[in-house]
Structure 1
Amino acid sequence: MGDVEVEERDGAIWIRLNRPDRRNAYDIGMATTVIDALESATAMHAVVITGSGGSFCAGGALDQLDDPDPDLLRTLFTTSARMLHAVRACPRPVIAAVNGAAAGGGNELVVACDLAVAAKRATFGQTGPRVGSSPVLGATNLMAVQIGEKKAKELTLLCRRYDAEQALAMGLVNEVVADEELETRVSEWIAELKALSPRYLEISKVSSNLWWNSAQDSMANGLGMLVQAIGSDDMREGARAFIEKRRPEFPPPGTGTRRS
């Protein structure tokens, strides 16, 4: 089995991230495979994105932040942006089947999806400032439209974790089901979509991208700042602390950071 499994089932393309050893954090190759699957979904009724091994997605692979290769990391950032845009550009509804932890870029993937069904065990949250990064591809902009500005800033700035019921209450997901019922319930959602007009579903989806499209300048600016911060003390310390499972020791405010 590969790092991303793509299967046609129930009239949908099921995309399963399959790197449970790193909580399905994606690298450039995995993100590219997801993009290709989304772009090939024209003949389907829907697309489902889920994870394996009890996790949904932990975002981009953090092992590249500890001792970053600037060109490689720039490509990871820009490919992440392309993947999330592919979710929105896909002509079919994209459903996040959140089977476990959705953290960092994984939470932003939930934000990008059109619909989201969560297992009871799922958790949600951003990690950016905790690991020496910033969630500029959805959490700092579009998420405020979905759950409100104050709540979005709480997720983005405090990096707390939220359970599935909390995510439902704030509007981050559409429904919470028992863990063992997740894929069955998602199949039921697909069945509902199959009874509808694909033509007018596409029109409705494209029209609903108003706020996503409006956030593109914010995302581009944020991405540019992230690229310029590659190799900063904060990035290196955040990644090392995450890998070593300890609390990070960032430089204090006003001291600046150097690039190595």
Structure 2
Amino acid sequence: MTDVLVERDGDNLWIRLNRPERRNAFDPKMSASIVDALESAADARAVVITGSGGSFCAGGSLQQLSTPTVGEMRGLYQSSLRLFDAVRNCPRPVIAAVNGAAAGGGNELIVACDLAIAARSATFGQTGPKVGSAPVTGATNVMGVQIGEKRAKELSMLCRRYSAEQAEAMGLVNAVVEDDQLEATVTEWCADLARLSPRYLEITKISSNIWWNSARDSFTTGLGMLVQAVGSEDMIEGATAFLEKRKPRFPPPQ
């Protein structure tokens, strides 16, 4: 199975995450394929990221968290950051077409995208502390600029799930449409962008990265802390509970 489907639709480039059996969670290989597509999109008018099989993206794959090695986890964390940076550095507008659940790093992928349109059935939320991790590449920093610090901490700390309407109200997505209208609506937005100057859209986009660039130290510091926590009781219990579909039993605070 091809992890990532890259399709041309006229002037637009569609990147479709294609691992529905794991809700399109990405591993380093899959992240690299997305990065390659984004880095080759300069001749497109707009780029769309969406999922297959009724899910948008469940973030980084948790398969190795229950038996982690420092090398594997460092690779996963760094590949996630490279993916989000590629979205931000792509010269073309990147639209998230959220066709289902966006969880953990999948929600952070939406934070990284320039625009986001959600199907009404889509859901949103962070999972970090619930699965033995922390959302340090967007949710704990840049998302606060987008939806407000208190809301961002609510998503990052409580790990609740939110509806598409709630996501729109808090400013996480631009619009919500009926499920069967998602791709048509995204195509309409792409057509609107195609009528504008690509040169000045690029200037607008790169200029808007001020908050993302300002948070770069927070990203790398957070990832360094996550690497130091590899193999901790909390990481192994959180990931194991997730894979076993049960509530985690974390050790008490020390």
Matched, 1:20 2:2: no
Per-residue deviation, 1:98 = 0.1
**What SS does the corresponding residue of 2:65 show, helix, strand or coil?**
helix
Paired residues in the alignment total 254
Superimposed CA distance per residue, residues 227-249 of structure 1 (whole angstroms, 9 cap, x where no aligned partner): 11111110000000000011101
Matched, 1:131 2:152: no
Normalization by structure 2: what TM-score? 0.99
Cα deviation for residue 70 of structure 1 reads 1.7
Mark the runs of 5 or more structure 2 residues left unpaired by the alignment: none
Aligned residue type for 2:84:
L
State the partner residue of 2:11: 11
- The CA deviation string for residues 30-74 of structure 1, in whole angstroms up to 9 with x for no partner, is 000000000000000011000000000000100110101221111
Contact 1:10 1:190 in 2 (8 A): no
1:73-84 counterparts in 2 under 5 A?
73-84=73-84
**Which residue is equivalent to 1:223?**
223
Give distance in 1, aligned partners of 2:91 and 2:227. Answer: 30
Q: How many angstroms apart in 1 are the aligned matches of 2:28 and 2:69?
A: 13
Output aligned runs, 1:138-177, within 5 Å: 138-177=138-177
Q: For residue 258 of structure 1, what is the aligned residue in structure 2?
A: none
After superposition, what is the alpha-carbon deviation per residue over 1:126-167, rounded to whole angstroms, capped at 9, x for unaligned? 000000000000000000000000000000000000000000
Output aligned runs, 1:215-254, within 5 Å.
215-254=215-254
Write the distance in 1 (CA, Å) between the matches of 2:4 and 2:72.
20
Structure 1 residue 10 displacement after superposition? 3.2
Calculate the aligned-residue CA RMSD, in Å: 0.6
Give 4+ residue runs of structure 1 displaced > 3 Å after superposition. none
* Percent of paired sites with the same residue: 69
Work out whether 1:181 is the aligned partner of 2:176: no
CA offsets 1:194-249 (integer angstroms, 9 cap, x no match): 00000000000000000000000101100000011111110000000000011101
Match of 1:62 in 2: 62
Q: How far apart, CA to CA, are the structure 1 residues paired with 2:17 and 2:34?
A: 9
**Is the contact made by 1:60 and 1:76 (CA closer than 8 Å) also made in structure 2?**
yes
Alpha-carbon separation, structure 2, partners of 1:220 and 1:68: 20
- The TM-score, its normalising length taken from structure 1, stands at 0.97
Distance in structure 2 (CA, Å) of the matches to 1:11 and 1:117: 19
**What SS does structure 2 have at the residue aligned with 1:65?**
coil
